[in-house]
A and B are shown apart, each in its own frame.
Chain A
Amino acid sequence: MRSEAAIAGIGATEFSKESGRSELRLAAEAVLAALDDAGLTPSDVDGMVTYTQDTNQEIAVAREVGIGDLTFFSRVHYGGGAACGTVMHAAMAVATGAARTVVCYRAFNERSGRRFGQPDARVGGEPSSQGLEMSWHVPYGLMTPAAWVAMFARRYMHVSGATSEDFGRVAVAMRRHAATNPAAWFHGRPITLEEHQASRWIAEPLHLLDCCQESDGGVALVVTTAERARDLRRSPAVIAAAAQGSGTGQMMMTSYYRDDMAGLPEMSVVGTRLWEMSGLSPADIQTAILYDHFTPFVLNQLEELGFCGRGEAKDYVKDGGIELGGRLPVNPHGGQLGEAYIHGMNGIAEAVRQIRGTSVNQVGGVENVLVTAGTGVPTSGLVLTRG
Chain B
Amino acid sequence: MSAHDREETGAHEELMELAAKQAALGEVRGAPAADPVNEPMIRHWLAAMGDANPAYLANGVAPPAMAQVWTMQGLGPRQPSPVDEVMTALNEAGFTGVVATNCDHTYHRPLRVGERVTAATRFSDLKGPKSTALGEGYFATWTVTWYSEDDPVAEMLFRVLKFRPKERKKPYPLKPAINQDTAFFWEGVKQGELRIQRCGDCGELRHPPGPLCPTCRSANRDHVVASGLGTLYSFVVHHHPPVPGRETPFVVAVVELPEGVRIVGNIVDCPVEDVGIGMELRVTYSSMDDELTLPLWAPREP
Q: Does B4 make an interface contact (CB < 8 A)? A: no
Task: Indicate whether A141 sits within 8 Å of B252 (C-beta atoms), given known contacts A118-B241, A132-B181.
Answer: yes
User: DSSP class of B's interface residues: helix, strand, loop or mixed?
Assistant: loop
Which of A119, A131, A141 is the one whose CB lies under 8 Å from B177? A131
Q: Give the chain B neighbours of A137 by CB distance below 8 A.
A: 252, 264
Beta-carbon contact of A141 and B246 below 8 Å = yes
Across the interface, A141 reaches (CB within 8 A) one of B174, B179, B208, B261, namely B174
Most B C-beta atoms less than 10 A away, residue of A118, A139, A152: A139
Q: Is the CB of B294 within 8 A of A135?
A: no
A124/B174 contact (C-beta < 8 A), A141-B266, A147-B252, A256-B264 known? yes
Type the 1/0 row for B235-269, where 1 means its CB is closer than 8 Å to any CB of A: 11111111111100110101000000111111000
The minimal Cβ–Cβ distance linking A198 to chain B, given in whole angstroms, is 15
Check A143/B241 contact, CB under 8 A, given A132-B182, A151-B234.
Answer: no
Chain A residues numbered 197-217 whose CB sits less than 8 Å from any CB in chain B: 200-206, 208
Residues of A within 8 A of B242 (CB): 119
Q: In the complex, which range does the number of interface residues on chain A fall in?
A: 35 or more
* Contact across chains for B235 and A127 when beta carbons are under 8 A apart: no
Given the complex, which residues of B lie within 8 Å of A117, measured CB to CB?
241
Complex Cα distance, B147 from A359, in Å, reads 99
Q: Smallest CB–CB gap between B183 and chain A, Å? A: 10
Complex Cα–Cα for A228 and B182 (A) = 53
B238 in contact with A257 (CB, 8 Å): no
- At the interface, yes or no: B157 with Cβ under 8 Å from chain A? no
Which among A135, A143, A150, A261 is the interface contact of B243 at CB below 8 angstroms?
A143
B: number of interface residues (CB 8 Å): 40
Q: Are the C-beta atoms of B254 and A261 separated by less than 8 Å?
A: yes
Q: A147-B236, A151-B254 are in contact. Are A141 and B176 (CB under 8 A)?
A: no
Contacts of A4 in B (CB 8 A): none
CB distance from B151 to the nearest CB of A (A): 65
CB distance from A201 to the nearest CB of B (A): 4
With both beta carbons as reference points, the residue of chain B lying nearest to A206 in the complex is identified as: B236
A124 to B208, Cβ gap below 8 A?
no
A140 touches B294 (CB 8 A): yes
B260-281 to A contact mask, C-beta < 8 Å, 1/0: 0111111000000000010000
Q: Is the CB of B266 within 8 A of A200?
A: no
Q: How far does the Cβ of A263 sit from chain B's closest Cβ, in whole Å? A: 13
A135 B178 Cβ-Cβ under 8 A:
yes
Residue A356 CB within 8 A of the other chain = no
Q: Which residues on B sit within 8 Å (CB–CB) of A134?
A: 177
Cα distance A135–B172 in the bound complex, in angstroms: 14
A125 & B241 in contact (Cβ 8 Å cutoff): no
Q: In the complex, what distance in Å separates the CA atom of A147 from the CA atom of B242?
A: 12
With A154-B234, A158-B234 already in contact, the answer to whether A126 and B239 are too (CB < 8 A) is no
CB distance from B103 to the nearest CB of A (A): 43
A256 near B174 with CB under 8 A, answer no
Contact of A141 with B182 in the complex, beta carbons under 8 Å:
no
B244 neighbours in A (Cβ, 8 Å): 119, 121
- A205 CA / B264 CA spacing, docked (Å): 17
CA distance A126 to B179 in the complex (A): 9
CB of B205, distance to nearest CB on chain A (Å): 12
Nearest Cβ on chain A to B249's Cβ, whole angstroms: 8
Query: Does the CB pair B239–A139 fall under 8 Å?
Result: no
> Does A144 have its Cβ within 8 Å of any Cβ on chain B?
yes
A202 CB contact (under 8 Å) in B235, B239, B250: B239
> Residue A150 contacts which of B236, B264, B277 (CB distance < 8 angstroms)?
B236
Q: Which residue of A lies closest to B253 (CB)?
A: A151
Verify B176–A139 contact, CB threshold 8 A.
yes
Do A124 and B240 form a contact, CB below 8 Å, given A154-B277, A261-B254? no
Q: How far is the CA of A307 from the CA of B207 in the complex (A)?
A: 34
Contact indicator A154/B241 (Cβ below 8 Å): no
**Minimum CB distance partner of A256 in chain B:** B254
B211 to chain A, nearest CB (A): 10
Verify if B292 is at the interface (C-beta below 8 Å from A): yes
Q: Does residue B173 face the partner (Cβ distance < 8 Å to A)?
A: yes
Question: How near does chain B come to A125, taking the closest CB pair, in angstroms?
Answer: 6
Q: How many angstroms between the C-alpha atoms of A139 and B233 in the bound complex?
A: 19
B241 to chain A, nearest CB (A): 6
Contacts A132-B181, A141-B266, A158-B234: A121 and B277 contacting too (C-beta < 8 A)? no
CA distance A140 to B254 in the complex (A): 11
In the bound complex, how far is the Cα of B292 from the Cα of A143, in angstroms? Answer: 18
**Distance between B136 CB and nearest chain A CB, rounded to angstroms:** 32
* Closest-CB distance, B84 to chain A (whole angstroms): 46
Shortest beta-carbon distance from A114 to chain B in Å = 14
Contact in complex: A119, B234 (CB < 8 Å): no
Closest 5 pairs between A and B when the two form their complex, measured CB to CB: A135-B176, A204-B237, A155-B234, A150-B236, A131-B177
- Between-chain CB contacts (< 8 Å), 21 pairs: A119-B241, A121-B173, A125-B177, A126-B177, A128-B177, A132-B177, A132-B179, A136-B176, A138-B176, A139-B288, A139-B294, A141-B245, A147-B236, A147-B238, A151-B252, A154-B277, A155-B254, A155-B277, A158-B277, A203-B236, A257-B208
Q: Which positions in B face A, CB cutoff 8 Å?
A: 172-179, 181-182, 207-208, 233-246, 249-250, 252, 254, 261-266, 277, 288, 292, 294
A contact residues vs B (CB 8 Å cutoff): 117-119, 121, 124-128, 131-144, 147, 150-152, 154-155, 158, 200-206, 208, 254, 256-257, 261
Seed contacts A137-B252, A203-B239; 12 additional CB < 8 Å A-B pairs: A132-B178, A133-B208, A136-B208, A136-B263, A141-B243, A141-B246, A141-B266, A142-B238, A151-B235, A155-B233, A208-B240, A256-B262
